[in-house]
Each structure stands twice: as structure tokens, then as C-alpha cells.
Amino acid sequence: MGKKNLSRRQFMAAISAGAGTVLFGSAINAFPSETRQKYTDPFQKITLGKTGIKTTLLGMGTGFSGYMRSSNITRAGVAESVIRQAYEKGIRYFDCADSYGTHPFTAAALKGIPREDYTLGTKMWVTEGGIPENERPDAEIVIDRFRKELNTDYIDLVQLHCMTTGDWPDQQKRIMDGLENLKAKKIIRAHGVSVHSFDALKVASENPWVDVIHVRINPFGEAMDQRDPALVVPVIEKFHKAGKGVIGMKLIGGGRLKNDTEKIDTSLKYVLGLGTVDMLIIGFELPEQIDNYISRIKNVTKEISG
């Protein structure tokens, strides 16, 4: 894979975010002291914003290439085994979604483990497509089904999946109100969104309903809401300062960078170097990938904290 040069704006964004050493090998100390103290280990316990949800810095995404209730790991028949191995390695956050079809596999993989020992996040598909049915029932009905599929009394985090327009809060008010009611009843602990456009991202940063956001971030602009990370980084900082939980996704560009080891390490260092992302989600497909990323993140956190 050929090298991709960073633009001047990307360079300046990296420097302003404190990632100069990470990307460019500068002799300066690129990581501010608060960032060096924040990240120590892939299995360290972090808190997602003001939600009170504590889980591991590294989480497992179950929906690589997920759609219509399937994903790469369900199609390959390895979903249950990979999820179980991720838990056994020390990962405690499992990112699911209705469109991934991974709820029953996650429940089977974690069967027999005390519920308080792991964190479940999932996402509702509320727009057209994405899931086989055309109907979009109220949140109470959908979350009741989710709980049965996940074999759990409560779900830690439920998000609206793949918001793409700036008017998503108006369009999804019925679902948002339903999730707020479920949070009041302690059936879910927090709610939020995953977004797939810059307009949706900016609106989410202003919306008090959002407890936790999934943001697409890497230094190369791959599979992001903007090709230029310099535009995305300030929005992430805004989430962080507002006390919203920030989950970093697409760190390897939706798989586009998965064969470039140098870019993987650069991306991990860049995202952790920002100091505004609470946790990382990686979509593992094979057991050996789990060990690989654990090792990479251990090296990165050692460099940052050193």
C-alpha cells in the first residue's frame, strides 16, 4: 500500500492536538501531561463521559461490514468464539447493533459471566433500510426485544444508528423520548448516537440528549465525516468538554488501512494523543487480531505515559 501524505491542515491539526511526535518523529514532548496520565493500558477502566459507565479502554466492535442483521463474523460463523476470546483476553465492552445481527451471539459468548463484569452497547436502526423490516416501532418495544436477544435485564448504552442529516433530532424525537423514558426506568443506562455525516456530528455536539457519541476518527481522513481531521478534532473536543462520552471508531478507516501496520500504529497514537476520546472500538474478525491490537495499544500507551 502506498504512503499517503498528510496535508498542511492535517499537520497543523496534529500539532495542535499534541500529536506531533506521533506522526512526524519530532524530538519535542508531544503529549500533554494530562494525556500522559490518562492512558496506561488497553484494559484500564475508563468512564464514558458523565454516564457513570465504566469499562475498558479497548472495546470490541461486532459489526465489521454489518448490514441487514449480519456482519463479517456472523457470516463466517465465528461471532460467538471471537467475542468470547475477546472477553477472556480482558476486553469488557461489546459494541452491537440490530443491523449487525450479533445480539444472540454476544449473549451466547458471555453466558455464565456475571452481568456486571461486562458492558453492552447496541444501536437502533431507525431510518430506511439497514434491517429487513419496514416498521420502526417505539423504543420500548425495540429495547424489550434487544434485552431478550442479549439475555439481559438492562443495556448499558443504546444509540441511534448511523444518523446522516442535521435534522436527526427532529426526525427521531419519538424514539429519543422513548429512550429517555427507558433511562429513567433504568432499563438502559445511557443513550446517544453514531453519526455518518459532518452535519449530524455538529448537531450531536450541541444536543443535550446525547450522552455518548461514536465518532469516526483517524489521521488520514479515511471513512470519516470529513476528509480533513482538522475539522473533526474540534468537534470531538467540544463533546469531551461537555461531558459526553466519546467512543472512537473507524481508527483503521473501516478496514482500508488494516494491511498497513505503520498507519495502524500512527492512527492509534494519533487518536489517543488527542486526549479527548474515552475509548476505542476495533472490529475484530479473528482471534489473532485481538492479541495484535492489545500488543499495539500496550506499546502506544507506554509511549504516551512514558
pLDDT reported for residue 151: 98
pLDDT reported for residue 15: 42
pLDDT tens for 249-299 read 999 999 999 999 999 999 999 999 999 999 999 999 999 999 999 999 999
With respect to residue 93, please indicate whether it lies within any of the assigned structural domains. yes
Domain count, the chain: 1
With respect to residue 128, please indicate whether it lies within any of the assigned structural domains. yes
SS3 percent helix, strand, coil of the chain, rounded to 5, is: 45, 15, 40
With respect to residue 251, please indicate whether it lies within any of the assigned structural domains. yes
pLDDT reported for residue 57: 97
The b/e string for 23-34 (b: 16+ C-beta within 10 A; e otherwise) is beeeeeebbeee
With respect to residue 267, please indicate whether it lies within any of the assigned structural domains. yes
With respect to residue 38, please indicate whether it lies within any of the assigned structural domains. no
With respect to residue 215, please indicate whether it lies within any of the assigned structural domains. yes
With respect to residue 40, please indicate whether it lies within any of the assigned structural domains. no
**What are the Cα distances from residue 8, in Å, to 227, 228, 241?**
13, 10, 26
Taking 50 as the threshold, does the pLDDT of residue 1 lie above it?
A: no
